[in-house]
Structure formats: C-alpha cells, structure tokens
Amino acid sequence: MTLTMEENRMADQNQLALFIQGVSTWNQWREEHPGVKIDLSCAILSGADLGGVNLADSDLGGVHLNAARLIGANLSGANLQRAKLRWADLHKADLYMANLSAFPSFSRCCLRIVEAYSQLTKAINSE
C-alpha cells in the first residue's frame, strides 16, 4: 500500500509507517496501545483495502479515502472533517459519533446497509 500526505497537514509519521504494514498489524497495535491519540490526518489512502480496520477516535481530518474499501471498519468517534470518501465502500462500517461536520465528500459513497446509513444520519443531524 502506497500512502502519502497533503503538504499543509501531516499525519503522525510513526503511526503512518505502522499503518502501511497492514490492517492486522495496525489493529493489533491499537489493542496494545488503547490510549494513544491517532493522527492520520490528510493521509492519502485512496483505493486502500482497509476492511475491518480500527480507526475509532482517530483524527482523519482531510484524509483521502476515495474508492477505499472500508467494509466493517470501526470509524466510531473519528474526525472525518473534510474527508474525501468518493466511491468508498462503507458497508457495515461503524460511524457512530464520527465527526462529519465541514461536509466530508460522500459523493457516490457506498452505504449498502441501513445501519451504517442511520448512524451517518444521526451523526450529521447531531451537529
């Protein structure tokens, strides 16, 4: 997986290096370090296969997730302000309490399950 970042903001370099090792490595590290603040802001993760990834309570502000596969991902409590999610597959993703203010781009985003859609709607309406 090749990931980059926008110039004006930067993800935590150590966390990004760990993240690119894959979902299972990342999720195991998250379990072992539950109190660490996650910052992957503005990382370009477009097209990445991130099914089942634990990004709960992470700073994903400005992240590019266009066409990313986020099936079953835990995005609860994540900051998704200004996130790019065009064509992303969020089937069964947990968006409970995710910060969706500042109009993230969900154009043509796949929300195939009613639960994900209702959680998204709740998050948007709570702003």
pLDDT tens for each residue of 24-45:
999 999 999 999 999 999 999 9
Domain parsing of the chain, residue ranges: 1-127
The CATH label, of 3.40.720.10, 4.10.640.10, 3.30.160.20, 2.160.20.80, for the domain at 1-127 is: 2.160.20.80
Give the span between the Cα atoms of 48 and 40, in whole angstroms.
14
**Both tokens of residue 67?**
């066409």
pTM over 0.85: no
Stretch 91-110: mean pLDDT: 76
Nearest Cα to 104, choosing from 78, 85, 77?
Answer: 85
Strand ranges, E, within 1-127: 4-5, 43-44
Identify which has the larger pLDDT, 115 or 78: 78
Q: In one letter, which amino acid is 33?
A: H
